[in-house]
Structure 1
Amino acid sequence: MTDKLQTALLILAVGEFSVGILGNAFIGLVNCVDWVKKRKIASIDLILTSLAISRICLLCIILLDCSTLVLYPDVYATGKQMRIIDFFWTLTNHLNIWFATCLSIYYFFKIANFFHPVFLWMKWRIDREIFWILLGCLVLSVFISLPATENLNADFRRCVKAKRKTNLTWSCRVNKNQHASTKLFLNLVTLLPFSVFLMSFFLLILSLHRHIRQMQLSATGCRDPSTEAHVRALKAVISFLLLFIAYCLCFLIATSSYFMSETELAVIFGESIALIYPSTHSFILILGNNKLRHASLRVLWKVMHILKVRQF
């Protein structure tokens, strides 16, 4: 029964992976083609492309881990292969959070209406510094991810596969305590970009509230372009917030699975649900971006035209 459930969850993960690759690859392809044509790339396109690439890598790592658990479970008894997987999973996970935070910050500076000198200066500088900000996020994520492999040695992996062996009880307890402290550190580190994300989110709501009040006082209505931009940005940010919370809960299940009775099943369940976030949020970003939305409509029209022609 457990094997059948693992297989079903793996099939679900493959479906989610395919959808996620399709959406994120579309974002990256459209922006890269536009970059080649114009020989320059807009800041928002650079952020979206970086986010899409990080999510493609995250999807690949999660699916690789799921497939390894189901198809090659003996690999979990060795430390070398799983160190590589855990390092890149932690790296892509943190990259995803930082790049999504950069996206919310960019929305905030480009759309919000504040008149503080510091805000106006950062609003003017954000386009020039966005490349270096993304590069800094990459370097910081690599630095943060290094502790993920310190205690994921062969002894720890043998503990995972040999829970019922009494002669490994003491070493397993020591390794699990080290693993728990490392995972706690990595989860606490994600609070930093998430706090910045929440701050920009609430400031964006405050900016929208102030803008609507000003429009109502001037009796010019509240559905002007600035209001529409606020609403579109908030939709993208709120969708990210909800999906990210669900992803974090599933991520905690997966990373805490070594303390559960059915380790492999808990990992596969957590990872199959966690795939929903990087798979679906890309389509929300496509619908919220004019260029990506128009490109997707053109692709759909061409696909429908080809299918219609083949029918005749």
Structure 2
Amino acid sequence: MMGRYVILMLVAAGEFSMGILGNTFIGLVNCIGWIKKRKIASIDLILTSLAISRICLLCIILLDCFILVLYPDVYATGKQMRIIDFFWTLTNHLSVWFATCLSIFYFLKIANFFHPLFLWMKWRIDSAIPRILLGCLALSVFISLVVTENLNDDFRCCVRTKKKTNLTVRCRVKKAKYSSIKICLNLLTLFPFSVSLISFLLLILSLWRHTRQMKFNATGCRDFSIEAHMGAMKAVISFLLLFIAYYLAFLVATSSYFMPETELAVIIGELIALIYPSSHSFILILGSNKLRQASLRVLWKVKYVLKRRNF
């Protein structure tokens, strides 16, 4: 039994390390550029905010895994449970909302539409980004407070209950109440997911219209608009697919409170959940010329140092 948990913990640590590496790289590159130029582009601000939220999310998920396996008694106290659930809900919502902001930004900057509302939003998006990000933070904090406010102090103690006693029925009621509240509140993340999906579909429409126009005005030159469309679509569709896997994993972890092997089900759900914030960062790095070139420079320097040390 312990051997199985050790393997799962090693996998979780590997996913965590990759996610921290990718997101920290994004944050450092953008922050260094911010310090040098004394200003930051809207896209870099969104990416940095997204990277920070995912670093925190990765830390919370890994912490929850290790506490559940190594220090299960911590779950018997409501205070620690409230702190963990607050930060997990906060970072979860922040990550989703910031990724949605990224999808909207790609859509407004790259798509070609001539509707007055679209043109107005395209013109105002750069100045509105800081306020939008602060609004996402405020909304996420509010949702997190609601989650912790509706959390029973002895809920985690019920999670550890295995024996068929009179406490089982009471715990089942508490689990059902808590899980239903948490699932309903996290269903709010389906709204930003829907916005990202709409942005993706509109990008496809914009690309289709642009391709049709190019057929009538063929110049044989390289079309940067199509490349921009494709790059943005890859970033958005990767977020959508990874978020679906993440959300299903969250449902598994939440519904696992009703399963006999609660800890194992939670850990497996969290392992799947770690894939989303870990892998999407590398997709964003490959999709950004600035980040991709910076990563190539870092890899070249690492290769040079290792070569000089005869590794």
Q: Counterpart of 2:200?
A: 201
Q: Counterpart of 2:113?
A: 114
Asked if 1:166 is matched to 2:165, the reply is: yes
Per-residue CA distance 1:74-102 (angstroms, 9 max, x = gap): 11111111111011001100000000000
Equivalents in 1 of 2:103, 2:212: separation in Å?
23
Q: Counterpart of 2:78?
A: 79
Equivalents in 1 of 2:221, 2:261: separation in Å?
54
1:76–1:158 CA contact under 8 A, matched in 2? yes
2:172–2:258 CA contact under 8 A, matched in 1? no
Aligned length: 311
Equivalents in 2 of 1:151, 1:118: separation in Å?
40
1:230 aligned partner, one-letter code: H
1:119 aligned partner, one-letter code: F
Equivalents in 2 of 1:161, 1:14: separation in Å?
24
Equivalents in 1 of 2:172, 2:221: separation in Å?
60
Q: Counterpart of 2:126?
A: 127
Equivalents in 2 of 1:226, 1:59: separation in Å?
35
2:76–2:156 CA contact under 8 A, matched in 1? yes
Q: Counterpart of 2:148?
A: 149
Partner of 1:169: helix, strand, or coil? helix
Equivalents in 1 of 2:110, 2:226: separation in Å?
9
For normalisation by structure 1, the TM-score amounts to 0.97
Q: What are the ranges of 5 or more consecutive residues in structure 2 without an aligned counterpart?
A: none
1:101–1:196 CA contact under 8 A, matched in 2? yes
1:101 aligned partner, one-letter code: T
Moved more, 131-140 or 238-247: 238-247
Equivalents in 1 of 2:184, 2:102: separation in Å?
25
1:216 aligned partner, one-letter code: K
Matches within 5 A, 1:61-100: 61-100=60-99
2:96 aligned partner, one-letter code: I
Asked if 1:12 is matched to 2:34, the reply is: no
Per-residue CA distance 1:154-198 (angstroms, 9 max, x = gap): 322221112314121332132122112212212321111111111
1:291 aligned partner, one-letter code: K
Q: Counterpart of 2:180?
A: 181
2:23–2:54 CA contact under 8 A, matched in 1? yes
Partner of 2:154: helix, strand, or coil? helix
Equivalents in 2 of 1:247, 1:216: separation in Å?
40
Asked if 1:250 is matched to 2:249, the reply is: yes
Equivalents in 1 of 2:123, 2:15: separation in Å?
39
Moved more, 296-305 or 243-252: 243-252
Once the two structures are TM-superposed, the CA of residue 153 in structure 1 deviates from its matched residue by 2.6
Equivalents in 1 of 2:186, 2:140: separation in Å?
13
Once the two structures are TM-superposed, the CA of residue 221 in structure 1 deviates from its matched residue by 5.2
Partner of 1:143: helix, strand, or coil? helix
Equivalents in 2 of 1:106, 1:221: separation in Å?
29
1:24–1:53 CA contact under 8 A, matched in 2? yes
2:121 aligned partner, one-letter code: M
Per-residue CA distance 1:113-155 (angstroms, 9 max, x = gap): 0001110011000000000000000000111111222343332
Matches within 5 A, 1:255-294: 255-294=254-293
1:14 aligned partner, one-letter code: A
1:44 aligned partner, one-letter code: I
Q: Counterpart of 1:33?
A: 32
Equivalents in 2 of 1:152, 1:64: separation in Å?
19
Once the two structures are TM-superposed, the CA of residue 223 in structure 1 deviates from its matched residue by 4.9
Equivalents in 2 of 1:271, 1:238: separation in Å?
22
Partner of 1:311: helix, strand, or coil? coil
- Percent identical residues: 77
